[in-house]
Amino acid sequence: MPAKRKAEGRNLSTPAAHRRGGLRPIEQGDWNMAYLFPEEIAEARAATGLVILPIAPIEWHGPHLAMGCDNLLAHAFARELARQLRCPYYPPLFIGTEREREPRLLKSIGFKGDEFIEGMDFPGNSVGSAYYREEVFAAVVRDTLNILFERMGFSRILIINGHGALNQKEVLTRLCSEYNAGMKRGKRVIWVYPGFPAALLGTGIGHADASEASLLSASFPECVDLSRLPGAGRLKNTRFGVVDGKTFDGSPTRHHTVRDKDDPRKHTDADLGKQYLARAVKEALRQVKKSLLPK
């Protein structure tokens, strides 16, 4: 009887040509672990030992970008990287952390400097962000790494971090250092910050500006609606939560507004976003092959 049931179960997995509902995600190049059968995960694990873990929070990104922007970009990046590496990626983990802004940065954005503001949760926002306490964030990531290494048997993990908060980066760096120091031979974990190629990092990374809107337009165009911004006038940082890279670097405009070249209403470009993504994927592939998959 058990053998018969096993055979019957196996017959339920019909070839794509005869299955209702069209192609499966993996047959379309999407290696999301949630859609894979155990045998497919095991085969991919045996080939490279690699799994990808996308991480970022639900966070305010102006009125014009979906609040899942950071994680959606991490998801798009992980999906493309997994397709090229032919490895699974864990379902995107919507979690992140933040700290209070320093007085110097608050003044650069346009505040007085004595406010208590965490991340991008400006006083005028209609909805707050889902920032976890730093220790909770670290515990969740640690447990997820343990699951992937110990329970699921992967030997290499690539964390795709979609959130630029300094304390989030510090937590990930510390966890990677801790794991890599104590791991058995052949096991390793690293993290990368996707979407913005190294060539762009020198110009400063903005928030909900034209570059980020372009990346999201390239990956999830249905999550961008520029009509939710005013049709004319400059975008005030404190009002909309849209901040350009130079302002974050301490060089604001006179009236603390977004620079014209970074204005998402004028310079959101999905084709440019695709170029950013492609360049960033190439950079990450080089890093993965050097640090995680050495010959």
CA separation for the pair 273, 197 (Å, rounded): 11
At position 245, the amino acid (one-letter code) is G
Residue 20's pLDDT is 66
* Closest C-alpha to 117, from 69, 169, 58, 108: 108
Q: Would you place residue 5 in the very low, low, confident or very high pLDDT band (cuts 50, 70, 90)? A: very low
Q: What percent of the chain has pLDDT over 90?
A: 85
HEC profile of 212-273: HHHHHHHHCHHHECHHHCCCCCCCEHHHHCCECHHHHCCCCCCCCECCHHHCHHHHCCHHHH
Q: Identify whether the C-beta of residue 118 lies closer than 8 Å to the C-beta of residue 100.
A: yes
* Statement: residue 3 has pLDDT above 60: no
pLDDT score, position 6 = 39
For residue 7, what pLDDT band results from cuts at 50, 70 and 90? very low
**Rounded mean pLDDT, 62-67:** 98
Say which residue the tokens 């950013």 belong to.
Answer: 276
Residues 104, 13 contacting (CB under 8 angstroms):
no
**pLDDT at position 203, please?**
60
Q: At what angle do helices 69-85 and 210-219 cross, to 10 degrees?
A: 50
Cα gap 255→110, rounded to integer Å: 8
Domain limits, the chain: 36-200+271-291
Name the CATH superfamily, with its identifier, for domain 36-200+271-291: Creatininase (3.40.50.10310)
Of 116-125, 190-199, 207-216, minimum mean pLDDT range: 190-199
Among 14-23, 82-91, 204-213, name the one with the lowest average pLDDT.
14-23
What's residue 11's pLDDT?
A: 39
Q: Tell me, what's the pLDDT at 222? A: 98
Q: What is the pTM of this model?
A: 0.90
Residue 10 has pLDDT above 70, yes or no: no
Determine whether 223 is exposed, middle or buried from the number of CB atoms within 10 Å of its CB (0-12, 13-18, 19+).
middle
Is the pLDDT score of 163 beyond 90? yes
Mean pLDDT of the chain: 91
Residue 13, pLDDT score: 45
Give the per-residue pLDDT at 182: 86
